[in-house]
Amino acid sequence: MNRLNAIGKFPVLCLLLILWSGSGPAEWKEHYVSGHGYEIHFEMPKPFKRTEEKIEVKETGRTLWENGYVTEGDEDNKLQIRVLEMGVSALKMDGITPRGLLEFVLSRENAGADRMLEVHEFTAPNWPENVNPAEEFTIESADGKTIRHTRVVIYESRAARDAYGCYVLLTASRPKDKPRLTAVDRFFNSLRICTGDKSPGGC
């Protein structure tokens, strides 16, 4: 009888082991977004999917494309990276400085009645010299339910004879009543901007 009981319990133990394994920590993966003269490397918990967004700039009539990746599964704690590039000659023609490019990003990220809670500059010692400016924002949604931690990094890349003004936008959202997860810092700090030059941060 004891042997039969042991045999009967074995499938249950296997099932519990499978369920316990499936609820373990998320698996992280390094990935990248590439463009003219650069690669943006980052780490993100799986699963995540590629994104692409068309941006119509009404003031200039230009059409831009924003490419990146966003996590799937946990809608309350979402991580997203977005990258956009634009020729430096076009930026100058439109009168857009690096600071102006950052403000353009922020105007899209902080639209409507969202409330800015905190702003501070940051840097990383291994970034290329042509990364400037870089700022982190904490934003509360208009309905007061969601907090977004956002980092914006402006940099310049070169491909052949052409130069490009680019931005990287990292976003981590969470419910307002929940603390900031350690995954946010891991995601933000994993960013590497590889421009192919010979500086320490050129990868």
Cα separation, 136 vs 109, in Å, equals 12
pLDDT digits (tens, 9 = 90+) for 1-22: 554 454 455 444 444 333 334 4
What pLDDT band is residue 151 in, cutting at 50, 70 and 90?
Answer: very high
In-domain check, residue 199: no
In-domain check, residue 76: yes
CATH number (domain holding residue 36):
3.40.1000
**How many folded domains does the chain comprise?**
1
Question: Do the bridges between strand 38-45 and strand 28-35 make them parallel or antiparallel, or are there none, so unpaired?
Answer: antiparallel
In-domain check, residue 95: yes
In-domain check, residue 20: no
* β partners of residue 152: 135, 169
Q: Where are the beta strands (DSSP E) in 15-145?
A: 28-35, 38-45, 48-57, 62-71, 78-87, 115-121, 131-140
Query: Considering only CA atoms, which of 81, 55, 78 is closest in space to residue 68?
Result: 81
Walk across the sheet containing 28-35 and list its strands.
28-35, 38-45, 192-194
Query: Considering only CA atoms, which of 126, 105, 143, 121 is closest in space to residue 200?
Result: 126
In-domain check, residue 91: yes
In-domain check, residue 3: no
Structure tokens, 182: 């350690």
In-domain check, residue 21: no
pLDDT digits (tens, 9 = 90+) for 18-40: 333 445 578 999 999 999 999 99
In this structure, the dihedral spanned by the alpha carbons of residues 19, 49, 130 and 182, taken in order and rounded to 10 degrees, is: -20
In-domain check, residue 1: no
**Whole-structure pTM over 0.85, yes or no?**
no
pLDDT at residue 201 in the model? 53
Angle (CA) 143 147 151, round 5°: 135
Q: For the chain, report the end-to-end CA distance as a whole number of angstroms.
A: 66
